[in-house]
Amino acid sequence: MLNEFNWIEATGNSPIFMVLVLFSVVTLGVVLERVYYYWQRRGNPDETLASVLEKIRTGNLQSATRVCESTAHPVGTIAAQAFTEDAAQTMEERFQIALSQQKLLLERNLNVLGTMAAIAPLVGLLGTVWGIMRAFSDMAQVGSAAPSVVAAGVAEALVTTAAGLIVAVPALILYNHFSRKMNVMLTVAENHARRIRAGLVEREVRENKHGDTPRDTGGHKEPDRRAGTKDHTQAPIGAPAS
């Protein structure tokens, strides 16, 4: 009997099942969009860090800035703040602003996945209640509790429950995956940006120290220019001339 039962026909007119189908389409669209975006922003932060530090050591700050600006990984945007000058903001403030901007870009639409993971099981549970109510309504209209009478309502209850879980479980897994990936990318970007800033500070200290080094005179003392000067002080009146 169950093999001959048409599950699609029994649940095709269910409004709850249609809502869950819509949820699945939205979830799939968000997942594909986020996968493509994170793939574009993957980059190689370690390679960027090594290249920028090498250019800082050689004094080529313009090339270091271009490397940061051309990097797709968030480390590029955040590290580029170390090469900017802004009297109204400190370096720490610029770092925090850049981090916040990158976080907004990376977590965009993730709230949709979190919402789908939270409400899809509840909508499936609503479908269960709706299906049971439909089964009892069919029993009341026919006046019989035969399996063929209640099968449509029970089928709707079971299918909507399963559909809710099918939507919610992958949505929750992918939400946690993207959240973890976002946190790792931002942490790596902040750490690398601070290392680049430290490299700039070390270079400035090295240059200042080199600029304050006394001039080498070859081991000879400079002559005292006052040694050959003539004393023009006037002798006291009555004193013998020297």
35-87: per-residue pLDDT in tens? 999 999 988 999 999 999 999 888 888 899 899 989 999 999 999 988 887 66
27, 167 Cβ separation under 8 angstroms? yes
pLDDT for position 208: 80
User: Is 192 part of any domain?
Assistant: yes
**What is the average per-residue pLDDT within 20-35?**
95
pLDDT at 151 over 90: no
Q: Looking at the domain assignment, is residue 216 inside a domain? A: no
Rounded to an integer, the average pLDDT of 126-148 is: 76
Residue with tokens 């980059």: 43
The answer to whether position 242 is within a domain reads no
- Whether 222 is covered by a domain: the verdict is no
Confirm if 94 and 85 have CB atoms less than 8 A apart.
Answer: no
Give a yes or no: residue 18 inside a domain: yes
User: What's the whole-number mean pLDDT along residues 218-224?
Assistant: 43
Check if the beta carbon of residue 196 is closer than 8 Å to that of residue 65.
Answer: no
**Residue 238: CB partners within 8 Å, gap ≥ 6?**
none
Q: Is residue 223 part of a domain?
A: no
Q: Domains in the chain: how many in total? A: 1
pLDDT at 90 over 70: yes
% the chain with pLDDT above 70: 76
Structural domain of 102 = 7-210
The per-residue pLDDT for 5 is: 52
pLDDT at 8 over 80: no
Q: Is residue 63 part of a domain?
A: yes
Prediction pTM value? 0.74
Structure token pair of residue 37: 């975006």
Confidence bin at 97 (pLDDT 50/70/90)? very high
Whether the pLDDT of residue 118 is over 70: the answer is yes
Percent of the residues in the chain that have a pLDDT greater than 90, as a whole number: 45
**Residue 216 binned pLDDT confidence (cut-offs 50, 70, 90):** very low
Looking at the domain assignment, is residue 224 inside a domain? no
